[in-house]
Amino acid sequence: MHKDQIYFIGAINVLRNRHKINFHELHCGKISIDDYFKLSEKGQIVYNEKIKLPLFLQDMNLYMKCLNYIAEANEIK
């Protein structure tokens, strides 16, 4: 599988799970969505206020609205 295909599959997984993901926690490390859920279930993700988040995560309502629009446009539930 090529790198582009892997990123595409990851993007689809993010869209499918967007309502279950704490995006601030997800950006605490370089982990896959599968690993995020495993670590999150065990309470092993520690969000630190000092972590510099991307600008698009500053307004979570707008970010979720955009993700919902992308998911709807691509028929992803």
For each of the chain's 77 residues, which pLDDT tens digit applies? 788 898 899 899 999 999 999 998 888 888 888 899 999 989 888 777 788 889 999 999 999 999 999 999 999 98
**Residue by residue, what is the 3-state secondary structure of the chain?**
CCHHHHHHHHHHHHHHCCCCCCHHHHCCCCCCHHHHHHHHHCCCCCCCCCCCCCHHHCCHHHHHHHHHHHHHHCCCC
Ordered by start, the domain boundaries in the chain are 3-73
At 65, the amino acid letter reads: K
Tokens of 10: 């990851």
Q: What is the pLDDT of residues 51-66, one digit of tens each?
A: 888 999 999 999 999 9
List Cβ neighbours of 14 (8 Å cut-off, separation of 6 or more). Answer: 21, 33, 67
- The pLDDT value recorded for residue 28 is 82
